Amino acid sequence: MIDTTTRQADAITPEFVAEAQELISHYPVSKRSASLPLLHLWQNHFSYIDDTGIEWIAAQLDLTPVNILELVTFYPWFRREQAGKTVIRVCRTLACALAGSYEVKEKFCQAVGLDPHEEHHGFGCAPPTTADGKFSVEFVECLASCGSAPVALINDDLVENIAPAGVSAIVEQYK
């Protein structure tokens, strides 16, 4: 569900604006190029992107909101709902699947208390997230670490050679 009761834009700080200005300055030829950087900035800061975020970013870049919304709906990385504090992205693709990533993903779900069969409702939605808001778990495609499969990206950390039996110890580190 997209939350419309809070307005993320009301919580923008001067530091946030300064960071946005810095990012825009990396694109001297066309401000529009700063769309993705500003979306990343927003999602890193607020966890997801609400309507006020889309409007704010568009205004900074002299665009209309739909120019930003169409990016949010295209790229799998962006979401319009709150995800867990820790997002566990298990690689699903062939090399990792050969090395047992389907079992590893199931173990992650069990270790954080999610139903392994709960579906990810697709682009824009948050991946399945625990009720306490601590963890989300999802499958993603090849993380470019196929030589140390199976792997997962947990927040900013790449975790390699994951054994099903080692999953709960990994989860402990993020509790």
Partner 1 sequence: MASLLQTPHPKERRIIFGNISKPGYAPDIDTYLTHGGYESLKKALTLKPGEIIDMVKAANLRGRGGAGFPAGAKWSFIKYDDGKDHYIVVNADESEPGTFKDRYILHEDPHQLLEGLAIAAFATNVHLSYIYIRCEFPKAAKIVWNAIKEARAKGFLGKDILGSGFDLDIYVHQGAGAYICGEETSLLESLEGKRPYPRIKPPYFPAVLGLYMKPTIVNNVETICHVKHILAMGAEEYAKMGTPGDGGTRTMCVSGDVMRPGFYEIPCGGVTLGELINDVCGGLKPGRTLKAVIPGGSSAKVLRAGEVFKLKVKGPDGQMIDKETPLLDLTMDASTLQAAGTMVGSGGVMIMDDTRDMVWALNNLNQFYAHESCGQCTPCREGSLWMSKVTTRIMDQGARPDDAKNLKNIADNIAGRTICAFGEACAWPTQSFLAKFPDEFEKRVG
- Site for partner 1, rule CB under 8 A: 26-30, 32-37, 39-40, 61, 67, 70-71, 74-78, 89, 92-95, 97-98, 140-149, 153, 156, 158, 160-161
Residue closer to partner 1 (CB basis): 29 or 131: 29
Query: To the nearest whole angstrom, how small is the minimum distance from the Cβ of residue 99 to ligand FES?
Result: 8
Pick one of ligand FES, partner 1, none as the site partner of residue 33 (Cβ within 5 to 8 A by kind). partner 1
Pick one of ligand FES, partner 1, none as the site partner of residue 159 (Cβ within 5 to 8 A by kind). none
Look up residue 132 and give its amino acid: D
Query: To the nearest whole angstrom, how small is the minimum distance from the Cβ of residue 54 to ligand FES?
Result: 32
Q: What is the dihedral of CA 65, 55, 44, 137, to 10 degrees?
A: -60
Query: To the nearest whole angstrom, how small is the minimum distance from the Cβ of residue 170 to ligand FES?
Result: 16
Smallest CA-to-CA distance from 90 within 44, 27, 2, 158 is with 158
Residue 174 CA to residue 91 CA, distance in Å, equals 19
Q: Beta strands 157-159 and 135-140: pairing type?
A: unpaired
Smallest CA-to-CA distance from 56 within 30, 24, 83 is with 24
Query: To the nearest whole angstrom, how small is the minimum distance from the Cβ of residue 5 to partner 1?
Result: 27
Residue 157 CA to residue 154 CA, distance in Å, equals 5
Q: Does 142 bind ligand FES (CB under 6 A)?
A: yes
Q: Are 47 and 83 in contact (CB under 8 A)?
A: yes
**Interface positions with ligand FES (CB under 6 A):** 91, 93-96, 142-146, 149, 151
